[in-house]
Each structure stands twice: as structure tokens, then as C-alpha cells.
Amino acid sequence: MDRRQFTKTSALALAATPLRSFAQAPGPQKPVGFAAVGLGSISDIFMRACANSQTAKITALVTGHPAEKGSKYAAMYGIPQTSIYTYEQYERLADNKDVDAVYIGLPNSMHCEYTVRAARIGKHVLCEKPMAVSSAECRTMIQECRTANVKLMIAYRVHYDPTWQQAMQIIDSGGIGDIQSFQGGFFNQQRAGTWRLSRKLGGGGSVLDLGIYPLNAIRHLTREEPTSFTAVVSTRDFSGRFAEVEQSVEWTMKLPSGIIASCGCSYGQIAPGFLTINGDKGYLQMQPAFLYDGVHMVGRVNGQPIDVLGTGKSPFQFALEAEHFADCIRQNKRPESPGEEGLKDMLAIEAIYKAGGTPIA
């Protein structure tokens, strides 16, 4: 079954799914087992990360191509054929005792459905960002996981990167003084025909996929929620590639403390992702900022220049987030990036699109 057919069975499957007993944490020595849901490029990276982890392990696969992709990855990671499921068989994960959680690497518009279905069979959920395609969907996901007493974490891998954690420590210690402003952006080229250029699958354009990075970083570093926005939306490529979603967005936002930020994103530009954090006594700049490795931080801290190059190699950020979630499941702790974090980003994204005159919800 390809992605166009997902929705044909989705509504019936979701409506027929009963609530089950609460999820249980695995034993102290057993790795937390993940079912990879959707076997695209992002799930491929996550599975490679888990293959090198002592606490997180891929134990099942959910795919529309069980004989092709399913068998390929099963052979790579030692997964039995009985633990390969189609999307119609998703609820059978409930009976697989080696699966403690699901990792949802599906297109954005499918995050809500497959989170809800996982919660209703008692499985914890690690969901890729953006959390969903509307704040209403985010609230549904949070409530369903709360009702089922399963954990919900959004895969903000940057939160777990040591270089980004060092930036947070510098800011919290007053090393650059009081933050005054931010400038940030994330840009790439999306080729025609990819699911991210489909409004039905992606839910919107580059803000959901790329702009969310500087947006979330600013919210995370300041622990503030932006209150006012301006935005400009533009498409200069008239080849038809952007018939359903915008090419580029630039926006500004103001935080309650008075901090201001200027950000941009695009599916039609080539430039390194970056974030500049300006304090009244110093600054930090991350560039590249949002890639899977090679995060580079320079700045002036406590009156001295700094230059820090992250040494972790892909897919280590994915391993860090998987192991964090595994620890939360094992120790019954709240994830550092729970569903509420994804909801707050989506509320801001809706405000950005509204300010640009192209609401997505």
C-alpha cells in the first residue's frame, strides 16, 4: 500500500481501535524496543542510531512494502519476519512484547493518526517534528497519550546535541549577558514530486519542515513563547514545483521580555542553517546549526572569543534522543521534549502563516 492509500483504511482502523491496558516499562537490562513506522530516509537514520545503542533497539517494522523494504531492514537489524507489519496490521503491535514504543517517521499529515493508534494499543510514542499539521491535532495526540498513560516525545534532536546544550549553559550562566535579539534561518532545495511539496502530506511548506528549527531553538533557549508576529511569504519559482506550498518565508517575532527575532526558511534556496544569539555583553553564532552533525559554535563569552566544533558524527543526535526516551520509559520520567513542546511550536507556526496571509488551519 502506498501513501495515497493510507487514508482509505485509516478512519476505519482508528475508529475500531479499543483502548488497551497501560504500557509497561521493560525490565532493567532489556533495551527499549522500537517499532519503526514508515521506512523512509529519516527512519533509516533512526534505525542506524539504535543499532549502535545499548538501551534502544529496533524490534519491529511497519511499512507499505513488507516484501521489499521490510525484508531489507529486517535482515540488516535481525528482526524476525513475524515482526514486519503493514499499516493495516498496525494494531497487531499490541501483541508484540518486544515493542515498547513506536518511532513515527511518516509524512507530517500522518503523525496524529499513527500516534493515536499507538496510544490506544498501549505503546509509547516518539514522533518526528513537526508534531502534526495543526494545533488541534497536537492537542488530540497529547490527550490520547495521557488517557492511555503512555509517553509522548517529539524528536527535537537538537535539544540533545552537546554543542547546543553548551550554548544553553553559556546563556544561563550570563556569559553573553541578557539576550537582546536572534537572527536565524534554515534553507534547502526540494525537488519536484517529493511529499514535502504536497499540502496533503506535508500540511504546509518550509516553515513546518525547516523554519521550525530556528523557531524551536529560540523558544528553547529563552523559555519564552512569542507573542507577536509579522511574516512575508513568497514564491519566485514558477515551474510548478510550488503549486501547493510556498517557496520561502521570512518572519519576525517578539517575546514577552522584549527580545526580538528575525528568521527565514525556504525550499528554494541554498544556504547554511544558522542561529545568531545577540546579548548585551557578548554573542553566540551556530553555523551550521541544524544539520545531523558538525554543529559549529563561535562567539564572545565573558569577554573572550570561543570556537567550538561538535565532534559527534551522524546519526549520534538520533541515538541521544532515542536513549533519552528509552530512559524516560524505563525510569517513568517526563521527556525533555514532550508533546506540549510540539504544540507550542505549532501554535507559533499557525501564527506565522496567519501573519503572512496564508493560514494553514
Radius of gyration in angstroms for the set of CA atoms belonging to the chain, rounded to a whole number:
20
Are 133 and 332 spatial neighbours (Cβ–Cβ below 8 Å)?
A: no
Q: Which of these is catalytic: 129, 156, 160, 283?
A: 129
Note if 57 is an active site residue.
no
Quickly tell me which residue has 530556528 as its cell. 214
Preceding amide of 335 cis, omega within 30? no
Residue 164 forms beta bridges with which residues? Answer: none
Burial label for 361, CB within 10 Å (0-12, 13-18, 19+), is middle
Note if 213 is an active site residue.
yes
14, three cell numbers: 482508528
Rounded Cα gap, residues 350 and 113, in angstroms: 20
Phi-psi label, residue 98: left if phi above 0, alpha if psi -120 to 50, beta otherwise = alpha
Q: Which of these is catalytic: 90, 156, 213, 353?
A: 213
Rounded Cα gap, residues 234 and 247, in angstroms: 6
Rounded Cα gap, residues 128 and 45, in angstroms: 12
Are 284 and 277 spatial neighbours (Cβ–Cβ below 8 Å)?
A: yes
Quickly tell me which residue has 516499562 as its cell. 25
46, three cell numbers: 533512526
Give whole-number Cα distances, 345 to 132, 134, 154, 218, 220, in Å: 10, 10, 11, 11, 10
**C-alpha closest to that of 9 among 113, 144, 132, 156:** 113
Catalytic residues: 129, 213
